[in-house]
Chain A
């Protein structure tokens, strides 16, 4: 089932669902003709779209809003925080082209602080699926949840067959490993799998956890990995501040534990605008480069 097919099904069977966009139709091109007045395009007005969504939610609707992740989470930030967050309304915020998905658009379009700022709003949850399959497995529960949710839309395809069991706040444990466990969310799942294979070829025992929702976070899965692996890697197409690395730090402080953590993230800088393949290469996020960084860290730490 595609993203659009699921939205169509939800709109048809549940009168609460409304589909909104601030004139970004990349993920929902076919819906306007299929769902009539249940589709609202407010024009290039991210703030107004969120206000309208809050108004619809006050009337009992579940608005699923769409815009580019950077403009949705930042232009409309105060509307999300004030109208959706304070009121705890079930508005769904679908951000397109987040992280590296903005490719060659340049820094204006790079949503690489979106997880940080969305999770910082009380009541707002965060879902970052690993690929299209993972997104479709989790989406129904996320959309039907009574909470506001920010969703890093991800329609990339991978060969990995995800567990069809999905629970909000539960990670998908791909593997467990004694030497290193890679914690990942979103599109870098594919590169995480490749890195895992590289490392395994070098004889390492490698765990891999696809976090799925970053808020609520699966604290237990992270604590288990910290206990059972010598090293944790946080892998994200996000600024180092406020994303997964910060989440892990928060969990460790809260539980008074310490372990080696290698953050692979964007270190306080925007990334080189280019096509995805070249971005990954240039910024050091390909499977082999990730594996190389992990190996270097292990060697350095064991000196």
Chain B
């Protein structure tokens, strides 16, 4: 990956993080998960997927499904940066005059399907992948899964089916931030070894650092990994990445910050001191 590209990706991801931080006020958002997958989402839309604002309805486009849903601010921010929606529209976050709410929905150009209920999008993506294959189209169908989401039985049902149907145009990506909503995954329902589980279900697995664009560049090339098998990329990430005051804090899952706190966090993102946050996490989600 050349230096110019790398800089551009980093700058875009930086602006997406700014958007996310701004959405964490006036009602708030799921900031931790949004920050953990921001780099991944920026990378996929800017470098990997054949989808842009001019081919959003083209049946030959690549598809991305955001299965875990509550990290949608990363998607909104990315869409604002790549021109799917106007940047101004982000100000409508949680307002009734728009559809920019806590989970993805198809009223936003570029969002393929609504999500929010965990464990759905993998099977929906299988349906899309089957149809692409039947029509002999070369589209890639990508699904971003949360690691906590892997607790859902329907994920494993769908993983079995994707393997059985030999869907090598399907690529799952796990945002492996090691957190469920309230607790570390390995402390509650241990998921490791994730790779072995999917291998056993007939998938081919790669891993990468979900915050390192060069590493993502290596992981997201040459698909399918093996002909006749679905692929999965386990991306190691940090919840709250970019903000030390949020990173790896179990109680910074859903947050609703004051305007002052948002300003502090923006400074922190720009290299300032760690923010002194007093707003607690809203747990009733």
- Tell me if B128 and A47 are in contact (CB < 8 A): no
> Which residues in A have their C-beta under 8 angstroms from that of B45?
none
Main DSSP-derived SS at the A contact region: helix
Stretch of B34-42, B86-94, B154-162 with 4 or more beta carbons under 8 angstroms from chain A = B154-162
Given contacts A37-B134, A48-B154, A87-B113, contact A55 B124 (CB under 8 A): yes
CA distance A86 to B114 in the complex (A): 9
- Tell me if A82 and B117 are in contact (CB < 8 A): yes
**Interface residues in A, total, Cβ within 8 A:** 26
- Tell me if B134 and A52 are in contact (CB < 8 A): no
Nearest CB to that of A76 among chain B residues?
B154
Q: Tell me if A61 counts as interface (CB < 8 A to partner B).
A: yes
Q: Which of A50, A51, A58, A87 has the most CB of B within 10 A?
A: A51
A75-110 contact mask (Cβ, 8 Å, vs B): 1 or 0: 000110011001100000000000000000000000
- Tell me if B117 and A55 are in contact (CB < 8 A): no
> Which residues in A have their C-beta under 8 angstroms from that of B112?
58
Q: Tell me if B123 counts as interface (CB < 8 A to partner A).
A: yes
Distance to closest chain A CB from B107 (angstroms)? 12
Q: Tell me if B164 counts as interface (CB < 8 A to partner A).
A: yes
- Tell me if A42 and B161 are in contact (CB < 8 A): yes
Distance to closest chain B CB from A45 (angstroms)? 5
| Interface residues on chain B, size class | 20 to 34
Distance to closest chain A CB from B67 (angstroms)? 10
> Which residues in B have their C-beta under 8 angstroms from that of A146?
none
> Which residues in B have their C-beta under 8 angstroms from that of A61?
131
Nearest CB to that of B119 among chain A residues?
A47
- Tell me if A48 and B130 are in contact (CB < 8 A): no
Q: Tell me if A54 counts as interface (CB < 8 A to partner B).
A: yes
CA distance A48 to B129 in the complex (A): 14
Which single member of A56, A58, A59, A83 contacts B120 (CB below 8 Å)?
A83
- Tell me if A59 and B131 are in contact (CB < 8 A): yes
CA distance A37 to B117 in the complex (A): 30
Q: Tell me if B59 counts as interface (CB < 8 A to partner A).
A: yes
CA distance A179 to B129 in the complex (A): 58
Q: Tell me if A120 counts as interface (CB < 8 A to partner B).
A: no
CA distance A37 to B165 in the complex (A): 11
CA distance A63 to B126 in the complex (A): 14
CA distance A61 to B126 in the complex (A): 14
Q: Tell me if B64 counts as interface (CB < 8 A to partner A).
A: no
CA distance A112 to B263 in the complex (A): 57
Distance to closest chain B CB from A122 (angstroms)? 14
Distance to closest chain B CB from A227 (angstroms)? 43
Q: Tell me if B95 counts as interface (CB < 8 A to partner A).
A: no
- Tell me if B127 and A52 are in contact (CB < 8 A): yes
> Which residues in A have their C-beta under 8 angstroms from that of B160?
43, 45
Which single member of A45, A50, A58 contacts B113 (CB below 8 Å)?
A58
A106-126 contact mask (Cβ, 8 Å, vs B): 1 or 0: 000000000000000000000
CA distance A47 to B127 in the complex (A): 12
Which single member of A48, A53, A54 contacts B157 (CB below 8 Å)?
A48
CA distance A187 to B181 in the complex (A): 48
Distance to closest chain B CB from A62 (angstroms)? 12
CA distance A48 to B167 in the complex (A): 15
Distance to closest chain A CB from B12 (angstroms)? 28
- Tell me if B157 and A55 are in contact (CB < 8 A): no
Given contacts A43-B160, A55-B130, contact A50 B114 (CB under 8 A): no
- Tell me if B164 and A43 are in contact (CB < 8 A): yes
Nearest CB to that of B124 among chain A residues?
A55
User: What are 15 A-B contacts defined by CB distance under 8 Å?
Assistant: A37-B134, A43-B161, A47-B123, A48-B126, A51-B123, A51-B154, A55-B130, A55-B131, A58-B128, A59-B59, A59-B131, A63-B127, A79-B154, A82-B117, A87-B106
Q: Residues of A at under 8 Å CB distance from B?
A: 37, 40, 42-43, 45, 47-59, 61, 63, 78-79, 82-83, 86-87
* Other contacts beyond A47-B154, A56-B131: 20, CB < 8 A: A43-B164, A45-B157, A45-B158, A47-B119, A47-B123, A51-B120, A51-B123, A51-B126, A52-B126, A52-B127, A52-B130, A54-B124, A55-B124, A58-B112, A59-B59, A59-B132, A82-B117, A83-B113, A83-B120, A87-B114
